[in-house]
Structure 1
Amino acid sequence: MLLASLNPAAVAAGADLADAVRIDGVTLSRSDLVGAATSVAERVGGAHRIAVLAKPTATTVLAVTGCLIAGVPFVPVPADVGAAERRHILTDSGAQAWLGEQPEHPEGLPHIPVRLHARSWHRYPEPAPEAIAMVMYTSGTTGPPKGVLVSRRAIAADIDALAEAWQWTPEDTLVHGLPLFHIHGLVLGLLGSLRIGNRFIHTGKPKPAAYAEAGGSLYFGVPTVWSRIADDEAAARALSSARLLVSGSAPLPVPVFERLAELTGHPPIERYGASETLITISTRADGERRPGWVGLPLRGVQTRLVDEHGAPVPHDGETIGRLQIKSPTMFDGYLNRPDATAEVFDAEGWYRSGDVAVIDGDGMHRIVGRESVDLIKTGGFRVGAGEVEAALLGHPGVDEVAVIGQPDNDLGQRIVAFVVGNADPGELINYVAEQLSVHKRPREVRIVDSLPRNAMGKVLKKELANWA
């Protein structure tokens, strides 16, 4: 059963939890979740596909849970999505109605409300593991967003592998304030809690004070969240009673890692994944947590590095290669896009992640970044943008940084760094040359007020390329 903690028979027999979910001022017991979500299932049963405006509310929780009980694939739609992208998602997915939160722009689709106090005790058979649970749309950085088909089997396999790696149990209280339209907040945070059976607290906004007050044992955040907590000593020290602090969705700067470890006593857990693969690599609760490295493949996951010709790349902790993955958590393809699906798999079934990485002799992985924007070929050398960013973040005058490669007639690409902070550009160039190799130094440093980021805190490097 995908949502194992919501087994109706077990809940009826007394395996209830009065505060299974706390979100947006509402507390739901397991009995509430089963009864209200089953009522939702009765209203959507038999539908082909349903859109859910994924605001962080109890209504969204019940909408998603009801769809999973009924075996109806749902499409989480960001609340702040633009008009053109919203229309594309609804049209491409074939969603028949909105469920839960009422959208301001319904785009002609009917709305099915969720009643928090409605109850049904109808028993639904568990859908097949191969059934599609949801269609999650990519961020659309290389064209219109693509619908990623995620099966129930993939979600269950991922949560179970993470539970093993993180020693995640029903005794945990999981806290986060992340969006419910991405893998991190929705699949790991909400569905993970409903499968494992732990308490789940959503803080609304991921503010340091809200995290500090939640009293959790397991916290999820993106680097922006952890950076703000690291800057708030009182909030950070309040998390010392937690068990694990998990960071993902973007690289965690080494200084933030080190500051969190100092203030909380917990070196953060880092992990790696994508909408197409879910989470595939992570540091472990009982293993090494190395700043800047995302750890080892989860149970059942295989990874490899290859060069541009498909030849293996040595696992020496230095040589950059293209990261490819095989995993039981893999998606079932892009909706309506067999061409795009075929492009990301090779003849042996390896998924081409589009990321570049290094692996050391112990199997630890470090993600350099996206092949398209983070692998810089300059003067005959291959340089990872992440390595240069990590070096710059070690300078006391640098608060944030993003590095890109720009076309250069002489070098092929020149390294350009965008820095938020208070430092002399020439000094930063020399600093990198001293910390790394001379050829890895930026040829240009631009001091900026802020970096463009998406909702998950990832820097939009293609926008920075336009700035340059």
Structure 2
Amino acid sequence: MDLLGATGGGSVRIAGRGLPREELLGWASAVAAEIRGADAVAVHATASLETVAAVVGGLLAGVPVVPLPPDSGPAERAHILNDSGAGLLLAARDATARAEGEPPLIPVDALPHDGNTNTGPDAGATALILYTSGTTGAPKGVLISRGAIAAGLDALADAWAWTPDDVLVHGLPLFHVHGLVLGVLGALRVGSPLVHTGRPKPDSYAAAAQNDGGSLFFGVPTVWSRTAAEPSAARALRGARLLVSGSAPLPVPVFERLARLTGHRPVERYGMTETLITISARADGDRRPGYVGTPLTGVETRLAAEDGGPAPADGETPGELHVRAPLLFKGYLNRPDATAESFAADGWFRTGDIATIGPDGWHRIVGRASTDLIKSGGYRIGAGEIENALLAHPGVREAAVVGTPHDDLGEQVTAYVVADGVAEGQLIDFVAERLSAHKRPRVVHLVGSLPRNAMGKVVKTRLGDITP
């Protein structure tokens, strides 16, 4: 089967504009005819039908597609365009202004919708070049093959019992794995209709559930937190089949509120740009707050201790999560050293995330080794556990925890909290009553908001810039 799945069935609607599958493929085929032979093409990845036609056109032409975040600043945009070697820029005519030196623009909305559908190249060919967030250094281009995408989507369809009878609903950006690979290519491969709400608002999700028969909903924790805060919107999702959360840990209190209001225990899953989705709870299995499930079909995982040896799968001992699977990336574009450094000597991919694995195979993500594993007074403390404890306080709306330098402890637990009507000392005591004493925050900063990226993830490297 081709990456895009069988012909027929399904439709795509984005922000109120829709096309049947066959017309979309005809439009994408016209795009493919314009770009065939290019080394790579960039797509101004707005939430629009033009973006979908452009990306699918690249797949049909066998040309690597570089999704360009529409809100990227001039420096980031220039870096992605130059680093990727994109020879053309695909966008609607009025969607973006080209800066000096940028590739020629192909106006996607000016192309016909009746091109001849073509099949793409072999499974090993690069389908997408997705740029990482670049928290350290410039963003790196991640090479994702057609075969990796197909393997990943098929594994998810199996885990989530995703079929053409589903109606997928989400409003996520179309330049990341979550919104683009899962949320667009997944629907096309499975053959299920897609309703993209433009933006992931609770009332839009509720409307799609009631008016479009939405059965499968994708969201990031921020989306689900806002939905849980609007009971009427949450209750409208009771007729859905599955609520899926990803891209960041879902706070336990949000999981529990969603379960009460919607009648659904949300499915959590884990992945990275470099690995696609590797671990998930299943539609026909248990769903545990604070856990991301078990490895998908074809995926192997292990934990590495600090000394490089194996960490026990006892559900308590944290270690760096390593992954081996057919859906791994091909490497970083023009970065052989970075590619080599990301793999262990025996070929397993080193995620940089700290996790625990229980005897039953269930995984819990503690956080990034660089920001979420706090080494304080000889203890190794996961930031996520403390964040969930803080979020259990009724006055707390948001929380982020990091380790900051301490003369005696090495690092101290420091929390940044958005809250109403509660003092710093009260929050410290609140956590101390629920967790081990060494896990309580030593410092709590009460702030107005937390810095987040386009996917709703807290950017912890920017927390120190906040003025409490």
Shorter chain as denominator, the TM-score bin is over 0.9
Q: How far is 1:6 from its partner?
A: 5.3
Give 2:208's aligned amino acid.
A
Q: How far is 1:106 from its partner?
A: 3.8
Q: Which residue of 1 aligns with 2:430?
A: 431
SS of aligned partner of 2:347: coil
Closer, same or farther: CA 450–371 of 1 in aligned 2, 3 Å: same
Alignment of 1:261-410 (within 5 A): 261-410=259-408
Which runs of 5 or more structure 1 residues have no equivalent in the other structure? 8-14
Residue of 42, 54, 67 corresponding to 2:58: 67
Q: Which residue of 2 aligns with 1:44?
A: 35
SS of aligned partner of 1:245: strand
Q: How far is 1:33 from its partner?
A: 1.3
Matched, 1:227 2:225: yes
Closer, same or farther: CA 155–465 of 1 in aligned 2, 3 Å: same
Q: How far is 1:116 from its partner?
A: 6.6
Q: Which residue of 1 aligns with 2:140?
A: 146
Compare 451-460 and 417-426 and name the one that shifted more. 417-426
Q: How far is 1:120 from its partner?
A: 3.7
Q: Distance in 2 between matches of 1:29 and 1:311?
A: 53
Q: Which residue of 1 aligns with 2:122?
A: 128
Q: How far is 1:326 from its partner?
A: 0.6
Deviations 1:296-331 (A, max 9, x none): 000010111111111111112111111111111100
Closer, same or farther: CA 115–449 of 1 in aligned 2, 3 Å: closer
Q: CA RMSD in A?
A: 1.3
Closer, same or farther: CA 37–438 of 1 in aligned 2, 3 Å: same
Q: How far is 1:278 from its partner?
A: 0.3
Q: Distance in 2 between matches of 1:419 and 1:359?
A: 29
Q: Distance in 2 between matches of 1:67 and 1:463?
A: 35
Closer, same or farther: CA 107–74 of 1 in aligned 2, 3 Å: farther
Q: Which residue of 1 aligns with 2:109?
A: 115
Residue of 216, 241, 244 corresponding to 1:243: 241
Q: Does the 8 A contact of 2:303 with 2:322 survive in 1?
A: yes
Q: Distance in 1 between matches of 2:398 and 2:356?
A: 23
Matched, 1:21 2:9: no
Closer, same or farther: CA 168–16 of 1 in aligned 2, 3 Å: closer
Which runs of 5 or more structure 2 residues have no equivalent in the other structure? none
SS of aligned partner of 2:256: helix
Residue of 139, 153, 157 corresponding to 1:163: 157
Matched, 1:104 2:102: no
Identity %: 61
Q: Does the 8 A contact of 1:376 with 1:382 survive in 2?
A: yes
Closer, same or farther: CA 302–405 of 1 in aligned 2, 3 Å: same
Q: What TM-score do you get using the length of structure 2 for normalisation?
A: 0.96
Q: How far is 1:2 from its partner?
A: 3.6
Residue of 34, 53, 68 corresponding to 2:44: 53
The size of the alignment, in residue pairs, is 459
Q: Does the 8 A contact of 1:217 with 1:243 survive in 2?
A: yes
Give the ranges of 4+ consecutive aligned residues of structure 1 lying more than 2 Å apart after TM superposition: 1-7, 100-103, 105-108, 119-126, 465-468
Q: Does the 8 A contact of 2:376 with 2:410 survive in 1?
A: yes
SS of aligned partner of 1:115: helix
